[in-house]
Amino acid sequence: MNSLSDRLDLIRTETDQNRKNLLVAEVVSELFRAVGAQPVVVGGSAVEFYTDGAYVSGDVDICFDGPRLPAPRERETVLAPAGEPVSIRSWKIAGVIVDLLGRLETSAKGPLQRLGQISLIQIEDLIAERILIATAPQVDLDRWRVAKVLLAAGWKNLVALDRAELRRVAQSPDYKVGDELERMIEEIEREEAG
């Protein structure tokens, strides 16, 4: 593809929301890497990309890894050629909302995952986070199902998952969802057998 403008025009015509979000994440990642930042897809959009659209978040969530955290005005300059600001931390790019959330927080020790030109938060951390979101302050069955879709993708070896690291992260003081993880694993294995 030639110019950024041509790429954005093509993205606007994309009808598959997962693919559209993925293409926008790729553009945003390229723009921030060009200024020395290390963008990482997190949250619901990372779930979406890990599960190949089995869950669609509808937006793209970005954090930054490493010492370089672009300031709000710099973010404005970097993303101006691609879209329009919605708020100080949100942009609309080719019809997709992009949320810039700040510095990456992760308890996982492994490397970030790569999906083409995009960096994704480690699946082990993402699963633990999604289980926490699904169970605190109370159980939310819709969020539980999202966490389960993500865990199932790793548990069934559809995406790389370090099971020991997942258990360590889930049991860590950051998440404290080890029991909930084991319950979710039992549900997945029961459904698989049954």
Q: Which domain holds residue 62?
A: 4-103
121 pLDDT above the threshold of 70: yes
Within a domain: 117: no
* Burial class of residue 6, CB neighbours in 10 A (0-12, 13-18, 19+): exposed
Count up the domains in the chain and report the number: 2
Sign of CA dihedral 108, 133, 119, 149: positive
1 pLDDT above the threshold of 90: no
pTM over 0.85: yes
59 pLDDT above the threshold of 90: yes
Closest alpha carbon to 68 in 82, 78, 56, 58: 78
Q: In this structure, are 129 and 72 located in the same domain?
A: no
Mean pLDDT of 103-114: 96
Closest alpha carbon to 110 in 119, 118, 102: 119
* Burial class of residue 126, CB neighbours in 10 A (0-12, 13-18, 19+): buried
How confident is the model over 72-108, as pLDDT tens digits? 999 999 999 999 999 989 999 999 999 999 999 999 9
CATH for 87? 3.30.460.10
Rounded Cα gap, residues 103 and 33, in angstroms: 15
- What amino acid occupies position 133? I
